[in-house]
């Protein structure tokens, strides 16, 4: 089951996300705060800053304020 929890950081303008995606993909969008993610399991692909990127287990994702991006799990997991 896909689920996401947004966690407000004690640092102003920073938001942490605890998410589990299996078959979820999201269209291009942006956030009004910085996002930090750690991929615990699986693989994820996303487009950010004009580049297509791929991350896997143990990788950290950093999304800048107003950074336009999309994303989806690979192999049915992320």
In the predicted structure, residue 78 carries a pLDDT above the cut 80:
no
Domain boundaries, the chain: 3-74
Identify the pLDDT of residue 75: 66
Query: pLDDT tens digits for 32-75?
Result: 988 888 888 888 899 998 999 999 999 998 889 899 999 998 86
> What fold characterizes domain 3-74?
Jelly Rolls (2.60.120)
Long-range pairs for 19-27 at CB < 8 Å and ≥24 separation? 21/72, 21/73, 21/77, 21/78, 22/73, 22/76, 22/77, 22/78, 23/73, 23/76, 24/72, 24/73, 24/78, 25/70, 25/71, 25/72, 25/73, 26/70, 26/71, 26/72, 27/70
- What pTM did the predictor assign? 0.71
């Amino acid at each position: 089951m896909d689920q996401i929890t947004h966690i407000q950081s004690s640092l102003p303008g920073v938001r942490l996300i605890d998410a589990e995606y299996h078959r979820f993909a999201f269209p291009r969008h942006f956030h009004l705060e910085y996002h930090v993610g750690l991929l615990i399991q699986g693989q994820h692909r996303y487009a950010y800053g004009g580049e297509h990127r791929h991350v896997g287990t143990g990788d950290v994702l950093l999304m800048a304020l107003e950074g336009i991006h999309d994303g989806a799990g690979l192999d049915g997991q992320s």
